[in-house]
Chain A
Amino acid sequence: MTRSESRFRRLLALYPKGHREEYGEEMLGVLLADGRTGPGVTADLVRGALGARFRQASTSLREALRDEGWRHVAYPVHFFGSLLLLAVAVGRFAMAILTMVRRPDYDISPFYGVDLVGALGWAVAVTGAVLGVRLLGVVGAAAGLAGEVVVPFRDAQVLNPSSWIIVAATVVLIAAAVSVRRAAPRGWRFVTAAGVVLIAQGLAPFGLHVPMFGLVPVLAVIAVGAPGLGRRFRGLIPRTSKGA
Chain B
Amino acid sequence: MREPTFLVLTALTGGPLHGYAVIEDIAGMTGGRVRLRAGTLYAALDRLRAEGLIEVDREEIVQSRLRRYYRLTGAGEQSLTAETARLRAQATIAERRLRARRIQLGGATA
Contacts and interface: CB of A to CB of B under 8 A. Distances in A.
A139 interface: no
A95 to B, nearest CB: 57
B43 interface: yes
B23 A34 contact: yes
Given A29-B67, A36-B37, A41-B37, A23 B42 contact: yes
A27 B41 CA distance: 9
Contacts of B67: 26, 29
A45 B43 contact: no
A46 B37 CA distance: 12
B19 A27 contact: yes
B40 interface: yes
Interface in A1-45: 19, 22-23, 25-31, 33-34, 36, 40-41, 44-45
Interface stretch (A47-55, A72-80, A130-138, A145-153): A47-55
Interface of A is mostly: helix
Given A34-B38, A41-B38, A45-B39, A29 B65 contact: yes
Given A19-B46, A52-B46, A45 B38 contact: yes
Nearest to B44: A48
Candidate in B20, B39, B41, B66 with the most chain A CB atoms within 10 angstroms: B39
B20 A34 contact: yes
A59 to B, nearest CB: 9
Contacts, number: 60
Contacts of A48: 38-40, 42-43
A22 B66 CA distance: 11
A219 B40 CA distance: 68
A35 to B, nearest CB: 10
Given A30-B38, A44-B37, A52 B19 contact: no
Given A23-B46, A25-B65, A30 B39 contact: no
A31 B66 contact: no
A44 B40 contact: yes
A51 B43 CA distance: 8
A59 B91 CA distance: 36
17 contacts: A19-B46, A23-B42, A23-B45, A25-B65, A25-B66, A28-B65, A29-B20, A29-B65, A29-B66, A30-B19, A30-B23, A31-B38, A33-B20, A34-B23, A41-B38, A44-B37, A45-B37
A31 B40 CA distance: 12
Contacts of A22: 46
A20 to B, nearest CB: 11
Contacts of A28: 65
B39 A47 contact: yes
